[in-house]
Amino acid sequence: MQNYYSVALGALLSVVANMPARAETDLTGRWVGQFNGVQVEIPLQPGPFGYHSGEPRRVQGPRFVDTALQIDFETQRKGLAVGTWNAGEFKQRFVCAQISQTVWNCADGGGRASVEVTSTTEIKVCYLDNREGAQGAGCALLRRV
């Protein structure tokens, strides 16, 4: 009889341990770290009368970026979050939606980001920039302050 109870208890504990957690990951607060990315210029296609400025445009090579990044998640509720990111002279508001226990999709006026919670004190943020005339991508490991 004792062996039966230990097998039943082991099975119950296994089921409980493998149940997905329903609690939201708390992102609120300030996160800081170093952002590394690259941006490439997308050449404008000439119209029927040439380029707007009258001069053909030369496309520069890729521009690499290494800058401090700060993200402030101001509020979070029911799998949604709102915040502001700062990188050098740039400051932008964004919104996020939680798509799994550890991953969030975010959007701002110029692109999209994914936020992966790697621990209670660290997140990985990858950003895809889609502004007029340029494309960019980069990632950062940020720590909670």
Give the integer Cα–Cα distance in Å for 140 and 142. Answer: 6
pLDDT at 58: 66
CB atoms within 10 A of CB 142: 22
pLDDT at 33: 98
Residue 44 confidence (pLDDT) above 50 = yes
Please, which contacts does 93-98 make with residues 24 or more away whose CB atoms are closer than 8 Å? 96/27, 98/24, 98/25
Residue 114 within a domain: yes
Residue 52 within a domain: no
Of the pLDDT bands very low, low, confident and very high (cuts 50, 70, 90), residue 90 is confident
pLDDT at 18: 41
Residue 118 within a domain: yes
Higher pLDDT, residue 132 or 73: 73
Q: Give Cα 27 to chain centroid, integer Å.
A: 12
Q: Which domain holds residue 28?
A: 22-44+59-144
Residue 85 within a domain: yes
Of the pLDDT bands very low, low, confident and very high (cuts 50, 70, 90), residue 105 is very high
Higher pLDDT, residue 17 or 71: 71
Residue 106 within a domain: yes
Average pLDDT of the chain to the nearest whole number? 82
Residue 13 within a domain: no
How many domains does the chain divide into? 1
Higher pLDDT, residue 89 or 70: 70
CATH number of residue 96's parent domain: 2.40.128.20
pLDDT at 88: 85
Residues in the chain: 145
143, β-bridge pairs: 32, 122
> Read out DSSP for 24-51?
PP---EEEEEEEEEEEEEPPPPPBTTB-
Residue 12 within a domain: no
Residue 96 within a domain: yes
Please tell me whether residue 4 adopts helix, strand or coil conformation: helix
